[in-house]
């Protein structure tokens, strides 16, 4: 998951990272055995970062002001470029004292990154000022502060995988929480971007020939995020969320931050109820994307503005609880399950191809109760990411919207 991070200068001085004459690295993390990292497993992103920033950042005349003295982002970068250049000039070979090493033990990769601030800047540089507050009064730096301090929690890492990636790309926060007790399987690749080693562990990691070696979803998401941003603090709930996890997940414990916004994409009906109830008590907004055939439905529960809102729209809390209980009282009953779905999200999904599948009026090649399209899940992820970003900047939001990407229609329901 999260890689071992150490500043390059510190790593060299303490002998944690040593280069031999062939260019191989000998790395000795604290309380770990020394590993030899060949050139083929070493990666350096510092040059790509510096040159990328030089290309993207505007001149000092239009660059964001970063402090009371009037220093601009461009001027800060010029100073950083000088630090980078001096580090290269003062060192022969690859052991120059700039940036941070990230040791990805599972992959056996050693990656050098630019310092965290500049890594985040280059990560959002191409977005410019596309995300601003409603009044357009906040400075770029103010928006960055809001987003960096935002703690997003995603429960359910199927559609949630795409959502957390989209949100991190747009906002580049310092902390996220991901929760899911399920395992990724081959059938997930129709809607989740997964490599072979995201789905299964290597043969070395398998206990026996009969073990499939499937990997937990939350752990995989953490690995994916950390491979893009090693400075991101990722809090992983690989056993999902149950009642005993609520205090830590929502309120934070032992240095873990409290939650600011919840993305609810979990499959279990009772956990859906639990999460919404706990979010409502704390005044935490909840966003859920439902990918329903070629339609995305977004439910936005603004408990941060009104703690008297129901657990879902178009139904009472008691009716929703009764429909949830019925699912567990009648396991495997399609009619009971779809009655719960109707109560949770309404019946608008019963149209076109999906209606034929729900009604068993079509050829059905798989046992999936509600089939999904990867393009719909991806569209939903983009809508959720935009919603989260706008909520954090103070925008009003609708309660429920539906976007049909087949018919190119958009409905604001309530």
Task: Encode the chain (414 residues) as per-residue pLDDT tens digits.
Answer: 689 999 999 999 999 999 999 999 999 999 999 999 999 999 999 999 999 999 999 887 789 999 989 999 999 999 999 999 999 999 888 999 999 999 999 999 999 999 999 999 999 999 999 999 999 999 999 999 999 999 999 999 999 999 999 999 999 999 999 999 999 999 999 999 999 999 999 887 677 666 788 999 999 999 999 999 999 999 999 999 999 999 999 999 889 999 999 999 999 999 999 999 999 999 999 999 999 999 999 999 999 999 999 999 999 999 999 999 999 999 999 999 999 999 999 998 888 888 888 888 877 777 677 889 999 999 999 999 999 999 999 999 999 999 999 999 999 987
Please check whether residue 132 lies inside any domain of the structure. no
Domain match, 114 and 197 both: no
Residue 135 lies in a domain: no
- Residues 201 and 78 grouped into a single domain: no
pLDDT, one tens digit per residue, over 59-80 is 877 899 999 899 999 999 999 9
Do 340 and 333 form a contact (C-beta atoms < 8 A)?
no
Which residues span the domain enclosing 118?
4-127
Kindly state whether residue 134 falls inside one of the protein's structural domains. no
Q: Tell me if 85 is assigned to some domain.
A: yes
Q: Which residue, among 176, 63, 192, 174, has the nearest Cα to 123 in the 3D structure?
A: 174
| 322 and 358 inside one domain | yes
Q: At what angle do helices 159-171 and 374-392 cross, to 10 degrees?
A: 40
Does 296 fall in a domain? yes
Euclidean distance between CA atoms 335 and 360, whole angstroms: 11
Q: Are residue 123 and residue 151 in the same domain, yes or no?
A: no
How many C-alpha atoms does 3 have within 13 Å on its Cβ side?
27
Integer Cα distance of 157 and 376 in angstroms: 15
Tell me the H-state helices in 33-136.
Answer: 46-56, 73-89, 116-124
Give the containing element (helix H, strand E) for 357: helix 352-358
Q: Is residue 92 domain-shared with residue 40, that is, in the same domain?
A: yes
CATH value at residue 300: 3.40.50.720
Could you tell me if 220 and 303 lie in one domain?
yes
Q: Rounded to whole angstroms, what are the CA distances from 348 to 104, 287, 314, 344, 402?
A: 45, 18, 12, 11, 9
- The predicted-structure confidence for 338-353, as pLDDT tens digits, reads as follows 999 999 999 988 888 8
Same domain? For 288 and 350 the reply is yes
Q: Same structural domain for residues 112 and 167?
A: no
Would 133 be classed as within a structural domain? no
Percent of the chain scored above 70 by pLDDT?
Answer: 99
Residues 120 and 175 in one domain: no
Exposure letters 80-91 (e unless 16+ CB within 10 A, then b): beeebeebeeee
Hunting for tokens 């608008």 — which residue is that?
A: 348
Same structural domain, 51 and 101? yes
Q: Is residue 394 part of a domain?
A: yes
What per-residue confidence (pLDDT) applies to 315? Answer: 96
* Per-residue pLDDT, 373: 92
Same domain, 117 and 151: no
In a domain, 321, yes or no: yes
């Amino acid at each position: 998951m999260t890689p071992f991070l150490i500043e390059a200068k510190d790593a060299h001085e303490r002998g944690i990272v040593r280069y031999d004459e062939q260019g191989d690295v000998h790395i000795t993390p604290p309380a770990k055995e020394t590993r030899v990292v060949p050139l083929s497993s070493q990666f350096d992103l510092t040059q790509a970062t510096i040159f990328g920033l030089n290309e993207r950042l505007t001149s000092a005349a239009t660059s964001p002001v970063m402090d009371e003295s009037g220093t601009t982002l461009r001027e800060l970068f010029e100073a950083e470029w000088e630090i980078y250049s001096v580090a290269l000039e003062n060192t022969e070979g690859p052991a120059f004292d700039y940036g941070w090493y990230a040791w990805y033990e599972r992959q056996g990769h050693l990656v050098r990154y630019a310092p965290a601030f500049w890594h985040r800047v280059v990560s959002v540089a191409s977005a410019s000022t596309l995300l601003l507050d409603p009044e357009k009064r906040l400075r770029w730096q103010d928006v960055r502060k809001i987003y960096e301090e935002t703690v997003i929690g995603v429960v359910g890492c199927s559609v949630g995988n795409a959502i957390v990636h989209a949100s991190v790309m747009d906002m580049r926060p310092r902390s996220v929480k991901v929760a899911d007790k399920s395992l990724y399987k081959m059938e997930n690749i129709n809607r989740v971007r997964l490599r072979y080693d995201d789905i299964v562990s290597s043969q070395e990691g398998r206990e026996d020939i009969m073990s499939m070696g499937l990997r937990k979803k939350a752990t995989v998401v953490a690995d994916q995020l950390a491979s893009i941003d090693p400075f991101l603090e990722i809090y992983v709930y690989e056993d999902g969320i149950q009642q005993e996890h609520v205090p830590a997940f929502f309120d934070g414990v032992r240095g873990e931050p409290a939650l600011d916004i919840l993305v609810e994409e979990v499959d279990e009906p009772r956990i859906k109820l639990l999460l919404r109830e706990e979010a409502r008590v704390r005044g935490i907004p909840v966003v859920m994307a439902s990918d329903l055939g070629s339609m995305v439905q977004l439910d936005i529960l603004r408990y941060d503005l009104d703690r008297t809102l129901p657990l879902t729209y178009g139904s009472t809390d008691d009716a929703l609880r009764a429909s949830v209980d019925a699912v567990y009282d009648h396991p495997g009953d399609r009619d009971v399950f779809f009655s719960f779905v109707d109560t949770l999200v309404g019946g608008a999904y019963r149209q076109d191809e999906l209606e034929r599948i729900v009604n068993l009026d079509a050829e059905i090649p798989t046992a999936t109760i509600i089939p999904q399209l990867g393009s719909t899940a991806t569209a939903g992820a983009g809508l959720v990411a935009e919603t989260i970003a706008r909520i954090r900047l103070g925008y009003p939001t609708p309660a429920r919207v539906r976007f049909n990407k087949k018919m190119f229609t958009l409905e604001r329901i309530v």
